[in-house]
Structure 1
Amino acid sequence: MFSPQGPSLRELVVQALSSVERGYDLLAPKFEHTPFRTPDSVLDATADALRPLGPFGKGLDVCCGTGAGMRILNPLCQGRITGVDFSTGMLAQARRAHPDAEWVQADVRALPFAGAFDLAVSFGALGHFLPAERPSLFAGVYRALRPDGLFAFPIVAPPPITSGWYWALLGFDLVMQVRNAVWRPPFVMYYGTCPLHAVRNDLTAAGFTVTTVPLTALGRREDGSPRCRLVLARRT
């Protein structure tokens, strides 16, 4: 699937029928060859938006996966950079790709840090958390940051209802709901559970001051609005 180096259809099915942690352990060796890996265009646009706000001290990639976020943390941060994830397999790949970074295995809903970082980023991870789990995630990131620290992540605008992507993503979420209703352990991955207004409310409740900037390099929708925004949540 996806490319000759990517996972087979059978491997993807086995992953989808596993828990989130086990699924990513299985997918880790081929994850870089799937569309699930954050595209470099998104990473570069995020770096361009953050660069004027830096330089930063220590950096943290929340739900780091195989370490793609190090592409931007390394040049933006003058101090130690750290990745945290709960998948052993993903962290093993990240360590091989970025041996100079620090890697921590932990459930990000209970981050083991306090006042340690100046910048935290996250890419493509919010869909793995149910809405009721976001407050604990954001509270943990808040604790992990130093005063005036920044939590940044891109969030994509939903496609219009007339778009084929709208119905494809809705269909995916419905399939996942049925899968999780009839199969255990659950595999939490949804595309429609983290709209910007809900994420902003949860960040504000955690204590952040929230702004957004458009990532115009990633294009605009038909109505002229940006396809993607960078959420900037600052610990004040």
Structure 2
Amino acid sequence: MPTRATARKGCGEGPGRYPRLVFSPQGPSLRELCVQAFSSVERGYDLLAPKFDHTPFRTPDSYLGATADALSDLGPFDQGLDVCCGTGAGMAVLRSVCRGGITGVDFSAGMLAQARSAHPDATWVQADARALPFTENFNLAVSFGALGHFLPTERPALFEGIHRALRPGGLFALPVGAPPPLTSVAHWATLGFDLTMRVRNALWRPPFVMYYRTSPLPALRDDLMAAGFTVTTVALTVLGSRRDGSPRCRLIVARKPTDPH
């Protein structure tokens, strides 16, 4: 299960993908997952952090590699930021395309402790992604799998904070998967998961915000443009295509204009 609020990691969602229900033997037990699911998002991720990289919620290396390859054609960049960094998987992407320092921000102290151990040369900041403490510090920002932890009404604050954190001309890159076909198992699995989470949050406090079906590409594009970005997409063709030939995953490339007017 996955996160939310001081720079949340949307690890359970993956970058627009859907969960593979396969756990490593080193991963959490069913009991541990249940305890996490009935905790707050922050507390849940603190508990899960030591075993997180052994769960299907970690962003796959294939998605990280595809994102890095696409960004290499748009860079190089200087300072890089991973928003909702979790245990730091996205640092490999930033390190491959950034010439300067790299920074991860997350609200879970437990996840940051794991990230700091794995990447001691990076800078780590504990903060709420809806109120990022940066102003024009970075040339590139990325985020992997975090969107499910933000309600649609919270996305404007998230995107405005990322816009503020970037220097003029800076990029925000976000992989987003195509919705699964109506006839697929993934469609009904994610629908059932979201309904279950809505019932859980209606009956249990604190809430655990994690939804798979609240971030369609058109809505993300509208919210990013409202925050001041110009938005394009890049097909990550290496990740495959759907039956209709459309890409399974696209990289949203949101640029902060060099001219504020």
TMscore range, shorter length: over 0.9
AA at the equivalent of 2:67: T
Higher helix share: 1
- In the alignment, is residue 146 of structure 1 matched against residue 167 of structure 2? yes
Query: Which structure 2 residue ranges, 5 or more long, are not aligned?
Result: 1-21
2:113 maps to which residue?
92
- In the alignment, is residue 200 of structure 1 matched against residue 200 of structure 2? no
1:46 to 67, 83, 94: 67
Alignment of 1:1-236 (within 5 A): 2-236=23-257
Query: Which structure 1 residue ranges, 5 or more long, are not aligned?
Result: none
SS at 1:118 equivalent: strand
Q: For the residues of structure 2 that align with 1:84 and 1:164, how far apart are their CA atoms? A: 34
CA apart distance, 1:75 = 1.7
SS at 2:73 equivalent: helix
Using structure 2 for the length normalisation, give the TM-score.
0.90
Q: For the residues of structure 2 that align with 1:177 and 1:61, how far apart are their CA atoms? A: 28
Using structure 1 for the length normalisation, give the TM-score.
0.99
Q: For the residues of structure 1 that align with 2:85 and 2:189, how far apart are their CA atoms? A: 26
SS at 1:83 equivalent: strand
- Aligned identity (percent) is 76
AA at the equivalent of 1:40: D
SS at 2:188 equivalent: helix
SS at 2:233 equivalent: strand
Q: For the residues of structure 2 that align with 1:173 and 1:48, how far apart are their CA atoms? A: 32
Q: For the residues of structure 2 that align with 1:217 and 1:22, how far apart are their CA atoms? A: 36
After superposition, the C-alpha distances for 1:83-138 in whole angstroms (9 at most, x for unaligned) are: 00000000000000000000000001000000000000000000000000000000
After superposition, the C-alpha distances for 1:31-71 in whole angstroms (9 at most, x for unaligned) are: 00001000000000000100011110000000000000001
Q: For the residues of structure 2 that align with 1:214 and 1:75, how far apart are their CA atoms? A: 20
AA at the equivalent of 2:121: D
CA apart distance, 1:81 = 0.3
- Larger relative contact order (C-alpha < 8 A, sep ≥ 6)? 2
